[in-house]
């Protein structure tokens, strides 16, 4: 079984190598070929292919029935294979280096060689610096693909970078200090999206020192700054709502005044319609809830000021009035419904007690 699995993985490696050669020799089709290759290695493995490729000793890969995302992708199997058989991936790596400046090259490298970079010994600091920078760039790109599509295909990559690299000092020293700082900033931006905030305390405890930390603040300040910048870039409503709902973990944090003001301004920008964020009604309500929870002082004055500003935009009045009326009708309807249900239950309870006495 192990030999058959190795044969299948070698065949996949040869196919990847063939496509990289083709991309290297074709200037006009290079971008398209790299994009297709990236899509191929990011594909979910179906049941038939899983039986052929997977063996029972794939260390580092959780069984499908124990995974949060319930699917397994080709890049996970290949990344594990290139750690066990490094020579199998060296030809592919050489081709990727020749295509370094092309789009999707860093993405492919991050998916296929994120384990190899930390679990296989490298020659020279310059090589490590180049690869670690490409890893951070490629990981950033693929995580944004998950953001734009609201999927979690690259959650295993995030898991590995967080739990096996960022939280393990012996692994983190294998890349340059600047790449390590960039990696922590990257993980900070996507931690809430991938629901890994249960590791936040440990993550902040391992946060590296930054040269300008005396101006910016501690690890919590850097985390909030990265999170704030991420929020301002989000355009997908479900993802933005997810971020806002998870930001309750920031309650009670001691931040510098500049960081706190930055976070408050970011949340406040999502509470009113129109530019620059153009938030939907659901986003506005979620932003208000998060803002009131994190900054309870000044809650009512903020709402009053927001109301006065809304009055300056009469084209929003019809929708606001309509939503207000519908909210009132919905509230009254559910109040009456709950009242009727309560009366009915009380009547049934009395009848039951009366029958029990008789």
Supply the pLDDT for residue 46: 76
- Cβ–Cβ < 8 Å for 293, 248: yes
Which SS3 state, helix, strand or coil, does residue 253 take? coil
What secondary structure letter does DSSP report for 162? I
Supply the pLDDT for residue 224: 96
Structure tokens belonging to residue 75:
């890049």
Contacts of 245 (CB under 8 A, 6+ apart): 286, 290
* Residue with tokens 């398209």, as numbered in its chain: 32
Supply the pLDDT for residue 309: 61
Supply the pLDDT for residue 141: 96
Q: Which of 160, 183, 6, 159 is nearest to 78 (CA)?
A: 6
Report the alpha-carbon distance of residue 160 to residue 81 in Å, rounded: 15
Structure tokens belonging to residue 266:
């970011």
What is this structure's pTM? Answer: 0.82
Q: Which of 131, 127, 149 is nearest to 139 (CA)?
A: 131
Q: What residue ranges do the domains of the chain occupy? A: 1-208, 212-312, 319-358
Report the alpha-carbon distance of residue 249 to residue 242 in Å, rounded: 13
Q: What is the CA radius of gyration of the chain?
A: 26
| pLDDT tens, residue order, the chain (358 aa) | 455 556 778 888 999 999 999 999 988 899 999 999 999 999 888 766 666 666 544 555 545 444 555 578 899 999 999 998 888 888 999 999 999 888 899 999 999 999 999 988 777 665 677 899 999 999 999 999 999 999 999 999 999 999 999 999 899 888 888 999 999 999 999 999 999 999 999 999 999 988 877 778 889 999 999 999 999 999 999 999 999 999 999 998 999 999 999 999 999 889 877 666 778 888 988 999 999 999 988 776 776 766 666 666 666 667 667 766 777 888 888 889 888 988 888 888 877 777 766 6
């Amino acid at each position: 079984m192990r030999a058959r699995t190795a044969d299948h993985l070698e065949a996949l490696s040869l196919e990847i190598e063939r496509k990289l050669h083709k991309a290297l020799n074709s200037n006009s089709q290079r971008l398209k070929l790299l994009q297709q290759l990236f899509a191929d290695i990011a594909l979910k493995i179906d049941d038939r292919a899983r039986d052929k490729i997977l063996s029972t000793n794939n260390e580092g890969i959780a069984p499908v029935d124990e995974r949060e995302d319930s699917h397994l992708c080709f890049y996970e199997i290949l990344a594990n294979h290139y750690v066990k058989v490094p020579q199998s991936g060296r030809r592919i790596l050489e081709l990727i280096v020749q295509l370094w400046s092309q789009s999707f090259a860093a993405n492919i490298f991050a998916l296929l060689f994120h384990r190899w970079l930390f679990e296989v010994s490298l020659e020279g600091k310059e090589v490590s610096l180049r690869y670690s920078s490409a890893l951070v760039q490629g990981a950033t790109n693929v995580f944004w693909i998950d953001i734009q599509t609201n999927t979690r295909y690259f959650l295993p990559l995030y898991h590995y970078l967080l739990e096996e690299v960022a939280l393990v000092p012996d692994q983190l020293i294998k890349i340059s200090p600047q790449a390590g700082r960039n990696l922590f900033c990257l993980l900070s931006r996507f931690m809430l999206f991938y629901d890994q905030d249960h590791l936040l305390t440990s993550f902040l405890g391992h946060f590296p020192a930054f040269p300008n930390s005396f101006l910016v603040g501690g690890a919590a300040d850097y985390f909030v700054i990265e999170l704030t910048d991420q929020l301002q870039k989000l355009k997908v409503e479900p993802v933005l709502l997810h971020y806002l709902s998870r930001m309750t973990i920031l309650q009670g944090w001691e931040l510098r005044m500049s960081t706190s003001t930055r976070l408050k301004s970011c949340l406040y920008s999502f509470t009113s319609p129109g530019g620059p964020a153009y938030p939907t009604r659901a986003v506005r309500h979620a932003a208000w809830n998060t803002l009131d929870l994190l900054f309870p002082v000044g809650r009512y004055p903020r709402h009053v000021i927001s109301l006065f500003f809304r009055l300056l935009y009469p084209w929003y009045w019809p929708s606001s009035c309509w939503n207000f009326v519908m909210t009132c009708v919905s509230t009254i309807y559910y109040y009456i419904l709950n009242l009727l249900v309560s009366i009915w239950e009380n009547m049934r309870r009395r009848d039951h007690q009366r029958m029990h006495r008789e």
